[in-house]
Structure 1
Amino acid sequence: MIMHCVFIRFRQETGTEEKQALYDEIAGLKRVLPGMVDFKSGANVSPEGLDSGYGDGFVVTFEDSAARDAYLDHPDHAVVSEKLVAAAAGGISGILVFDMAV
């Protein structure tokens, strides 16, 4: 399995409803992408203070790297990715992606 972890520094003016709409759109990809097992999203709740400003994030779990790669290449993913980059502080520099095999 692959855990695709995405952490975001949203622009200050990005509201809760806009964030949820983005998360809903990403979660909806499960309907068109076989191998997308799970999706979780939310705000950082760690008390450690080590988030480097990444206050929100999501994790997509895939059956394998092939399913993850299909997600990355899917045109619907490209559409929501553009929206996510536009909502992030500093654009792409406001997003951190970390994938791990579990």
Structure 2
Amino acid sequence: MPANPSLRHVVLFAFKADAGQDAIDAVVSDFAKLPDAIPGIQAYEWGTNVSPEGLNNGFTHCFTLTFGSDADRDAYLVHPAHERFVGTLGGALERSLVVDYWTQG
């Protein structure tokens, strides 16, 4: 295990077939605002699927947040800014998948 392991919070989104690009762009933009609004997020990155394997099962967008502790991640989950963001997803989001893990090297 690394000397200073990090907690990764990985979020995958599959959008509804009728979700417009503006709605998807708004989700991406709103997600990107969370690191400035919520203490404890050490790093944030996102991207879209480019795998040639075709195994993404409809998930197109991946977001990764890094935390230093379970407590920081737990505070993020119940933070009002996160809860507001989650509340806006219903119009565009078909489904999500979330995996948290401690880095190992």
- TM-score of the two chains, using structure 1 as the length reference: 0.83
Percent identity, please. Answer: 36
Shift of 1:101: 0.9
The whole-number CA distance in structure 1 between the counterparts of 2:24 and 2:46 is: 10
Q: Are positions 1:81 and 2:82 aligned together?
A: no
Equivalent residue in structure 2 for 1:10, among 8, 15, 25: 15
The whole-number CA distance in structure 2 between the counterparts of 1:85 and 1:59 is: 20
RMSD: 1.6
What does residue 97 of structure 2 align with?
96
Unaligned runs of 5+ in 1: none
Shift of 1:96: 0.6
| Structure number with bigger Rg | 2
Contact 2:38 2:81 in 1 (8 A): no
The whole-number CA distance in structure 1 between the counterparts of 2:22 and 2:54 is: 25
Shift of 1:17: 3.2
Over residues 50-87 of structure 1, what are the superposed CA-to-partner deviations in whole Å (9 max), with x where a residue is unaligned?
11111222111112211111110011111111222431
Equivalent residue in structure 1 for 2:41, among 29, 32, 36: 36
- List 4+ stretches of structure 1 deviating above 4 A: none
1:45 corresponds to which letter in structure 2?
V
